[in-house]
């Protein structure tokens, strides 16, 4: 893999995150959005917060910076605030990816936490996309259970869709 391949893979990641939000999350009632669930990280909201937090934390580690303060528990519908935060996380990730060069992929820039010190950039980048795919799949099932008509998020469908453009 090279830097351009990772940029393409992240276009898929960002596209699927936005599709999930716009197609399935926006139409939910507040009750559906925050309904407790026993699997994984809980409610749709909790799963989404986890997904964006993990993206932000790993990219902060790659850059040697600190992630933002965790989002507080909501007292009212906070989807606008969540979307704005997710947009900022994506903007930061895009900034990093824009400067990514092939020779950076084997670097091991992470110093803390200790368990992550041996990870190469390419491994972290791969993990973040894979983690996103896993949690989007969990969310799609959860949304299906809430009555949404969901569709797969296969990478190849993204490729087919964007080859035509």
Q: Which one, of 35, 30, 37, 18, lies nearest residue 79 by Cα? A: 30
Cα distance between residue 160 and residue 146, in whole Å: 29
Q: Which pLDDT does position 165 carry in this prediction?
A: 61
pTM for this entry: 0.92
Task: Name, in order, each residue with C-beta under 8 angstroms of 83's C-beta and a sequence gap of 6 or more.
Answer: 21
Q: Which pLDDT does position 35 carry in this prediction?
A: 93
Q: Which pLDDT does position 32 carry in this prediction?
A: 95
User: What residues of the chain score a pLDDT lower than 50?
Assistant: none
CATH number of this structure's domain 3-163:
1.20.120.450
Q: What is the dihedral of CA 68, 74, 76, 79, to 10 degrees?
A: 50
Give the pLDDT confidence of 13-30 residue by residue, as tens digits. 999 999 999 999 999 999
Cα distance between residue 136 and residue 19, in whole Å: 10
Q: Which pLDDT does position 94 carry in this prediction?
A: 98
Q: Which one, of 91, 97, 157, 88, lies nearest residue 125 by Cα? A: 97
Q: In whole angstroms, how far apart are CA 118 and each of 43, 86, 102, 112, 124?
A: 33, 28, 18, 10, 10
């Amino acid at each position: 893999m090279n830097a351009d391949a990772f940029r393409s893979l992240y276009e898929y990641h960002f596209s699927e995150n936005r599709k999930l939000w716009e197609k399935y999350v926006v139409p939910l009632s507040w009750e559906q959005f925050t309904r407790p669930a026993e699997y994984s990280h809980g409610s749709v909201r909790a799963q989404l917060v986890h997904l964006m937090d993990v993206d932000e934390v790993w990219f902060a580690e790659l850059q040697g910076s600190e992630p933002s303060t965790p989002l507080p528990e909501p007292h009212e519908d906070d989807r606008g605030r969540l979307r704005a935060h997710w947009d900022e996380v994506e903007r930061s990730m895009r900034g990093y990816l824009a400067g990514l060069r092939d020779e950076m992929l084997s670097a091991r820039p992470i110093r803390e936490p200790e368990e992550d010190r041996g990870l190469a950039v390419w491994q972290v980048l791969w993990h973040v996309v894979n983690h996103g795919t896993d949690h989007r799949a969990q969310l799609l099932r959860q949304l299906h259970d809430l009555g949404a008509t969901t569709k797969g998020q296969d990478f190849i469908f993204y490729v087919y869709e964007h080859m035509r453009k």
